[in-house]
Structure 1
Amino acid sequence: MHTVLVTGANRGLGLEFCRQYAEAGWRVLAACRDPDNSKALHGLAKRHGGLEIHALDVADHAAIDRLAEELRGRAVDVLLNNAGVYGDNDQNDFGSMDYGLWEQVLRINTLGPVKMAEAFLPHVLRGERKLVVAVTSLMGSMADNSSGHSLMYRSSKAALNAAVRSLALDLRPRGVGFLLVHPGWVQTDMGGANAPLQAEESVRGMRQQVEHFDLRHSGEFVNYLGKPLAW
């Protein structure tokens, strides 16, 4: 049985990843900041015995280390870094920037996935798939930025893309792969009700990219359908 560890597992894409992987027969380690208040996640756990729920705030590096220690010796085939925040709003644009919030966005969206990869590398190396996935965004593409704004979110995802690209090169000799995947514009709390894509379809597509991943493509930046995206 393969194992996937999903961050930000309590809602949106994270919850849908947990549902689909659990239904596919995977062991799911579902990590989120406040599991006690996630009825949907607990409902999934009741229906699927292979789903475990763990408390984790990816902004807290000590908490990441504690969870890695708690799961010491266990294999993680796919480490799926899904947790993220947007941060930007109309009161937070250039001229009235909340720099403390910007640092928090970077800590969650950029440092969090890198710290997860670092702390859980021994677990990933024990796994059969040896894959680290980062759910990123086309908004992190500098080539695609034609509308400006969203400084916090754009910069955090651009930095994530750069970091993961480097990790892909650094860890390729150890057989560890990295995948940067853009989920599309999805109807979630972040994406909003006007988004054209349902979480189920987006996650199904991203799971296909995981399923067909090959180490030769480590570090690539693609969308949920596998289309290469500009950096």
Structure 2
Amino acid sequence: MSGTIMITGCNRGIGLELASQFAQDGWRVFACCRDLKKAEDLQSLQAEFPRVQPLQLDVTDYDQMISLGKALHGEPIDILLNNAGYYGPKGTSFGQVDREEWRRVLESNTIAPYMMAETFCDNVAASEHKLMAMMSSKVGSIADNRSGGGYIYRSSKTALNQVVKSLSIDLKERGIAVLALHPGWVQTAMGGPGALISAAQSTKALKKILVGADLGKSGHFYNYDGSEIPW
């Protein structure tokens, strides 16, 4: 299948690779990034695939998001993929938590994806595939937490998972499926060079999940390999 996908955080890493893979398959790609002037790789991708449309969007700038929503009014979006996120400071063990950074991470990782869903819900509902997906993380799984720590990033992704679950219920009548995804430990700026898989490996598997998703899979949390992760 092919259609239109909107991806946030496309300036590098997983977002850029997903934009590339979907473009290669003939999809129209609304590729959002915070600063188009610095997104040289994304600009190069557009030169190779004209169906890639770079869009300036800081997902925590809600006035900018609303303006983009108005600009895209009436445009069907088959897949809305909320990929943009912020890890925050590392080493956030007990007694070392920065409250302001915690708020910043929650804004980027939890509130912004919800606002994207609210802003572009009509676009997704008007499409054929009708899918929203949130890039979560296995560290947001409460059942999987055996090491403690990581309060800031963990809690932002756990909260995001709850948003996914509620959206899957609230948007079911509109035929929209909503998923949470774990991309694996990926060799990106966030994952670091010691990560287990490349961005290309992760996104190839994620793309398969996205294209094959339907209402039967809505409200669930999936690893990049297709296996389900407990909440």
Give the conservation status (yes or no) of the 8 Å contact 2:69–2:119: yes
Name the structure 2 match of 1:185: 185
Give the conservation status (yes or no) of the 8 Å contact 1:4–1:29: yes
Give, as a single letter, the amino acid of the residue that structure 1 aligns with 2:36: P
Give the conservation status (yes or no) of the 8 Å contact 1:88–1:150: no
2:213 aligned with 1:213: yes
Name the structure 2 match of 1:12: 13
Q: Distance in 2 between matches of 1:95 and 1:182?
A: 28
Q: Distance in 2 between matches of 1:177 and 1:34?
A: 30
Q: CA deviation at 1:73?
A: 1.2
Q: Distance in 1 between matches of 2:225 and 2:64?
A: 33
2:58 aligned with 1:57: yes
Give, as a single letter, the amino acid of the residue that structure 2 aligns with 1:132: M
Q: How does 1:29-178 map to 2 (within 5 A)?
A: 29-90=30-91, 92-178=92-178
Give, as a single letter, the amino acid of the residue that structure 1 aligns with 2:128: E
Q: Distance in 1 between matches of 2:191 and 2:8?
A: 18
Cα deviations by residue, 1:10-44 (Å, 9 ceiling, x for unpaired): 00000001000000100000001011101100000
Q: CA deviation at 1:94?
A: 3.0
Q: Distance in 1 between matches of 2:4 and 2:121?
A: 14
Q: Please list every run of 5 or more consecutive structure 2 residues that lacks an aligned counterpart in the other structure.
A: none
Q: CA deviation at 1:54?
A: 0.6
| Stretches of 4+ aligned residues off by more than 6 angstroms | none
TM-score of the superposition, structure 1-length normalised? Answer: 0.97
Q: CA deviation at 1:148?
A: 1.3
* Bigger Cα displacement from structure 2, 106-115 vs 211-220: 211-220
Q: Distance in 1 between matches of 2:88 and 2:128?
A: 36
Give, as a single letter, the amino acid of the residue that structure 2 aligns with 1:135: M
Q: Distance in 1 between matches of 2:151 and 2:89?
A: 7
Give, as a single letter, the amino acid of the residue that structure 1 aligns with 2:195: A
Give, as a single letter, the amino acid of the residue that structure 2 aligns with 1:187: Q
Q: CA RMSD for the aligned pairs? A: 1.0
Q: How many residue pairs are counted as aligned between the two chains?
A: 230
State, as a whole percentage, how many aligned pairs show the same letter: 43
Q: Distance in 1 between matches of 2:147 and 2:221?
A: 21
TM-score of the superposition, structure 2-length normalised? Answer: 0.97
Q: CA deviation at 1:88?
A: 2.8
Q: What is the DSSP-based 3-state SS (H/G/I as helix, E as strand, rest coil) of the residue aligned with 1:30? A: strand
Q: What is the DSSP-based 3-state SS (H/G/I as helix, E as strand, rest coil) of the residue aligned with 2:69? A: helix
Give the conservation status (yes or no) of the 8 Å contact 2:97–2:152: no
Give the conservation status (yes or no) of the 8 Å contact 1:182–1:224: yes
Q: What is the DSSP-based 3-state SS (H/G/I as helix, E as strand, rest coil) of the residue aligned with 1:180? A: strand
2:27 aligned with 1:26: yes
Q: Distance in 1 between matches of 2:36 and 2:209?
A: 28
Give the conservation status (yes or no) of the 8 Å contact 1:88–1:151: no
Cα deviations by residue, 1:119-161 (Å, 9 ceiling, x for unpaired): 0011111111110011110000011011111111000000000
Q: Distance in 2 between matches of 1:177 and 1:103?
A: 28
